[in-house]
């Protein structure tokens, strides 16, 4: 029986790296990427990190650093990041027999029994070279007998440049040496609250957690923390998930670029969110019955009157038809809208999912013909919009969308829009 071997491949400074990918003039320039409405820093290049810019800091607090050091600032370009991520993941599929896409910039590989097992560092270097050559993104690779240790190995690969971006942690001796150097909060799944509780018990390093009594941990914490202890000791408890679990709900929500006081603008915003949510629902090959609509004013204003409300409804039968959810959402909005408020955010949530083939139709339902025509129409809309965004949209979504989030520093859609392809002069 082969010993389990996992690798965690993590893209370095992913959002910032994507922004630099088609801008060779920015190769050594500090870059930051902003959150929705260009409010806070959510990603930084290595050069920006060296200047002391922290994740989550509001933009206005670092404007003096941006001007002083010539930092390049970008709005979040999620279409670009998602496309580059997909290219990275596709390349990884050719390098390992089993791949779990863990997040937009991370993936676990199952290396059990691969031909590079005699020298796993060589495999890690191959991964780095392939991704860099094919896509232009730099990755770090952590290799270990469990996913939790692979996370620590990847952290070490990023922290210490002498590793060459690859750390093989399959050796027990190397595992313990690294864990002795890392604080317990660096362990995958050990958050802020757990860290405080562990520190109160004198457990401050990853190694001390690994050496703690399993029975004591299980009694005073949870099975999840006990499983983490086992993983730190080289016992694989967290399996690879090649197929992502079906979502239990889909939420589409954004803060507005400008406060909304007009109901028609709110209708446009809700219509946009419904359209996005239903598109995602169809991508998941699911149908939903439950719809929730919510809206509220700013939580951070002391000068404006506050208002927050939500309403829910259920369709008579599950569907992925955008038109049905639009009609229900407009009815909910009529019951929620109150004049006189400056609304800062709204959103929709789809829930109560069904597989299209398992729902029991009612006695008088036409179970075939309407569903077939709906599916064909929605599929046509999705296909056309996948080729060129906003090829077809519902009139209720509006055209100007003055309420949409601020993205004044948005880079081109280099890889997903024919009109914005990079031009070589």
In the prediction, which pLDDT does 1 show?
Answer: 41
In the prediction, which pLDDT does 354 show?
Answer: 86
**Which has more confidence, 104 or 258?**
104
Cα separation, 323 vs 378, whole angstroms: 10
Percent of the chain beyond pLDDT 70?
A: 92
pLDDT interval class at 292 (50, 70, 90):
very high
**Which has more confidence, 6 or 389?**
6
CA 5 remoteness from chain centre:
25
| pLDDT tens figures, 145-199 | 999 999 999 999 999 989 999 999 999 999 999 999 999 999 999 999 999 999 9
**Which has more confidence, 397 or 19?**
19
Cα separation, 156 vs 1, whole angstroms: 29
Q: What is the pTM of this model?
A: 0.77
Tokens of 345: 């955010």
Question: 173-184 burial, b for 16+ CB within 10 Å, e for fewer?
Answer: ebbeebbeebeb
pLDDT interval class at 366 (50, 70, 90):
low
Mean pLDDT of the chain: 88
CB atoms within 10 A of CB 133: 9
Tokens of 52: 């002391």
In the prediction, which pLDDT does 266 show?
Answer: 92
CB atoms within 10 A of CB 261: 12
In the prediction, which pLDDT does 244 show?
Answer: 64
User: Which of 81-90, 97-106, 114-123, 208-217 is predicted least confidently?
Assistant: 114-123
Beta-strand pair 343-354/249-260: antiparallel
| pLDDT tens figures, 379-409 | 888 888 887 777 788 888 877 766 566 677 8
Cα separation, 194 vs 185, whole angstroms: 8
Tokens of 277: 């949510």
Q: Is 396 in a helix, a strand, or coil?
A: helix
Q: Which residues contact 86 (CB under 8 A, 6 or more apart)?
A: none
**Which phi and psi angles does 72 have, rounded to 5°?**
-90, 130
Whether 111 contacts 6, CB under 8 Å: yes
pLDDT interval class at 125 (50, 70, 90):
very high
**Residue owning tokens 């029994």:** 113
Q: Residue 369 pLDDT more than 60?
A: no
Whether 106 contacts 9, CB under 8 Å: yes
pLDDT interval class at 243 (50, 70, 90):
low
Q: Which whole number is the average pLDDT over 92-96?
A: 91
Distances 53 to 19, 47, 190, 201 between C-alpha atoms, Å:
17, 10, 25, 33
Domains of the chain, CATH where assigned? 1-170 (3.30.70.270), 171-245 (1.10.150.20), 249-397 (3.30.1490.100)
In the prediction, which pLDDT does 199 show?
Answer: 93
DSSP state of 343: E
Burial class of residue 122 (count of CB atoms within 10 Å of its CB; 0-12, 13-18, 19+): exposed
Cα separation, 256 vs 214, whole angstroms: 49
Q: Which residues contact 290 (CB under 8 A, 6 or more apart)?
A: 312, 313, 314, 315, 350, 351, 352
């Amino acid at each position: 029986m082969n010993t389990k071997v996992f690798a965690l491949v993590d893209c370095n400074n992913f959002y910032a790296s994507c922004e630099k990918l088609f801008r060779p003039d920015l190769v050594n320039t500090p870059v930051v990427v902003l959150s929705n409405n260009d409010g806070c820093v959510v990603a930084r290049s290595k050069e920006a990190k060296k200047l002391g810019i922290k994740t989550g800091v509001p933009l206005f607090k670092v404007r003096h650093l941006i001007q002083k050091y010539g930092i390049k600032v970008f709005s979040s370009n999620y279409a670009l990041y998602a496309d580059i991520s997909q290219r990275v993941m596709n390349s990884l599929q050719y390098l390992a027999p089993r791949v779990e896409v863990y997040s937009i910039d991370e993936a676990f590989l199952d290396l059990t029994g691969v031909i590079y097992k005699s020298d796993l560092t060589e495999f890690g270097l191959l991964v780095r070279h392939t991704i860099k050559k094919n896509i232009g993104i730099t990755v770090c690779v952590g290799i270990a007998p469990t996913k939790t240790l692979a996370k620590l190995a990847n952290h070490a690969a990023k922290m210490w440049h002498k590793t060459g971006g690859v750390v093989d942690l399959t050796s027990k001796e190397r595992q313990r040496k690294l864990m002795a150097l890392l604080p317990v909060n660096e362990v995958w799944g050990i958050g802020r609250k757990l860290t405080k509780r562990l520190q109160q018990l004198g457990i401050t390093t990853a190694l001390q957690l690994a050496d703690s009594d399993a029975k004591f941990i299980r009694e005073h914490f949870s099975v999840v923390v006990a499983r983490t202890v086992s993983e730190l000791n080289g016992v694989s408890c967290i399996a690879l998930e090649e197929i992502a679990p079906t979502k239990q709900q889909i939420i589409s929500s954004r803060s507005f670029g400008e406060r909304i006081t007009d109901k028609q603008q709110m209708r446009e915003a809700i219509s946009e969110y419904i359209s996005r949510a239903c598109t995602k629902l169809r991508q998941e090959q699911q149908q939903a019955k439950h719809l929730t609509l919510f809206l509220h004013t700013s939580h951070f204003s002391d000068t404006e009157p506050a208002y927050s409300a939500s309403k829910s409804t259920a369709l008579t039968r599950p569907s992925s038809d955008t038109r049905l959810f639009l009609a229900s959402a407009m009815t909910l909005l009529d019951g929620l809208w109150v004049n006189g408020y400056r609304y800062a955010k709204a959103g929709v949530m789809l829930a109560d999912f069904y597989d299209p083939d398992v729902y029991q139709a009612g006695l008088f339902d036409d179970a075939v013909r309407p569903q077939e025509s709906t599916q064909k129409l929605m599929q046509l809309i999705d296909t056309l919009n996948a080729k060129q965004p906003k090829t077809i949209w519902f009139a209720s979504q509006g055209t100007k969308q003055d309420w949409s989030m601020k993205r004044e520093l948005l880079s081109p859609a280099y890889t997903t829009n024919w009109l914005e392809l990079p031009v070589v002069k």
